[in-house]
Chain A
């Protein structure tokens, strides 16, 4: 079993839809949870950064962390074609620099 599991998709939605992306993990020591967006052949771009459990909202993006279930989510509201990319979840332990990434979910938003 991988330490971080993420469904690679692909996921295709119509413009304006609400997108839900998820990751599960097995290491209960993870404290920092991140979501990165990666366009084709580009470097990952940090979208959301959260510490421990709870919700965080930034514009159309909402990140949720449920440590009791070892489950994190990213919601994208009013999705746009420009949101088409691969979304990677990432997590690390406190004071540990070995960040573990999910496999990434490829999202396509159709106009």
Chain B
């Protein structure tokens, strides 16, 4: 157990809808990272927050957004969902603001029908 928690485990929704994925980092970790893992694209970095502020952006679509709250948990919002958004979404956390050692949560499996 990495200490990173993610909810929900599974999410099934329809095209055009909006969903929110939640992540709680390991105790003491200030950075939260979001990743998307699909069969054809592998593991792709989406965005990082450090102590409440956006620190780095990767291949995140404009339909996706994230935030980190004062208690350091983070939410990833996916809107106008398309079939191609079906994937595993992972959250990871690290103690520092640089990528270094990241610890991954169990993931949320999103299915868009």
Contacts and interface: CB of A to CB of B under 8 A. Distances in A.
- Tell me what chain A mostly uses at the interface: helix, strand, loop, or mixed: loop
Main secondary structure of the interface of B (DSSP, over half): strand
A44 B90 contact: yes
Interface in A75-99: 88, 92, 94-99
A: contact size bracket: 20 to 34
B4 interface: yes
Interface residues of B, number: 27
Nearest to A104: B42
A45 B3 CA distance: 11
Interface in A48-88: 49, 88
Interface in B1-59: 2, 4, 31, 33, 42-45, 48, 55-56, 58
Interface of B: 2, 4, 31, 33, 42-45, 48, 55-56, 58, 88, 90, 92, 97-107, 109
